[in-house]
Amino acid sequence: MGTATAERSTTSPWPRFTPALGAGAALLTVAYLGLFFRWFERQGLLSYDGLEDWGHAFIIPVISAFFIWRNRERIEAEAPEVFWPGLAPMLLGIMSYFYAVVAIQSHMIEGFAVLLTLFGLTLLLLGPAVMRWLVIPIGYLIFGITLAEIIMITVTFQLQLLASEGAWVILGAIGSFADFTIDLDGNTLRLYQGGRTIPLNVAEACSGMRMVVAFYALSVWVALTWCRQWWQRIALFLCAGPVAVFMNMIRVAVLGLLSIWDSNLAAGQAHTMIGTLLLIPSLGLYLGIAWALNRVVADETQDGKATR
């Protein structure tokens, strides 16, 4: 009886790997990458050229693969099947891509079409049972798409003003005992020390706050990895915006302090390094929030058991 149980537990509904199956998978992969090669190439260049703002796009596929690996046992337990309705989103994605290339000329819309095609292709070949475990990994790839500049400017302009106002408060508090004063004019900070005037343009310092996309991507990863309840995940996702604004305030304040000693430290490689290093405390902050939310649930559960 134990042997029969062991045999059933090791039986997988997935077809056994064969050279023909491997060749077919490789052919589909090459065809998909070849069809959208232009988009992948441009996305790579955009991420590399704007490494500080969009460098996280190189990590997004890795995290997406981690989500798949994390649910590998559930995926293996589902029976794959050809699901012909998946052909509709796949063809819609391909047509949308070429329309975006020819008529709209929008890299962002092209990226959405690339993901829609991937969704449809996966649904077509594997079926809805497997797709329910792949929706999140595929959807997560949206964070790897560089957004249109007009959207980032429109959405983040007010956030830039908030960052400058927050940095003005922080630097004002520090300046009260560090022998410097600070004024705010729009999104430009001016530090005064020893007869010197040191301007700091927040629009340049935070580069349009495109890092807010990375914070949202980070929040989704932390929420899905560290939190068990749906409301905890929603709460963490909603914290992404405030945390992004707060960390950008800290970033601008640090750049302001560095510019007192050397204005060159607020630009170039130093500016890039500060933006990268601040991802570490932001991750720590998210993990701290996730720990607190999980601790609240654990404490409530323990209290309920103690009462019973």
| Residue 196: strand pairing partners | 193
Measured distance CA(185)–CA(188) in Å, rounded: 5
Query: Up-side HSE of residue 121: CA atoms within 13 Å toward CB?
Result: 15
Question: Sorting pLDDT into bands at 50, 70 and 90, what band is 261?
Answer: confident
Encoded tokens for 236: 């963490």
Residue type, 163: A
Average pLDDT across the chain, whole number: 82
pLDDT recorded at residue 205: 52
Of 6 and 285, more confident: 285
Q: 166-206: per-residue pLDDT in tens?
A: 888 988 888 888 778 888 887 788 888 877 888 877 765 56
Task: Give buried/exposed letters for 258-281 (b at 16+ CB in 10 A, else e).
Answer: bbbeeeebbeeeebeebbeebbee
Give the angle 33-35-41 at the CA atoms, nearest 5°: 60
Stretch 220-225: mean pLDDT = 86
Stretch 103-128: mean pLDDT = 95
* Residue found by looking up tokens 């989103």 in the block: 89
Residues in the chain, overall count: 308
**pTM of the full predicted structure?**
0.80
DSSP class of residue 200 equals E
pLDDT recorded at residue 162: 84
**What are the CA-CA distances from residue 291 to residues 71, 247, 298 (Å)?**
22, 19, 10
Q: Which helix (H) or strand (E) holds 175?
A: helix 149-178
N-to-C CA span, the chain: 39
- Output phi, psi for 191, to 5 deg: -100, 140
Share of the chain above pLDDT 70, in %: 85
pLDDT at 308 > cutoff 50: no
Domain boundary assignment for the chain = 16-146, 151-307
Of 51 and 231, more confident: 231
Q: 62-85: per-residue pLDDT in tens?
A: 999 999 999 999 999 998 999 999
Question: Sorting pLDDT into bands at 50, 70 and 90, what band is 213?
Answer: confident
| Residue 185: strand pairing partners | 188
Of 110 and 4, more confident: 110
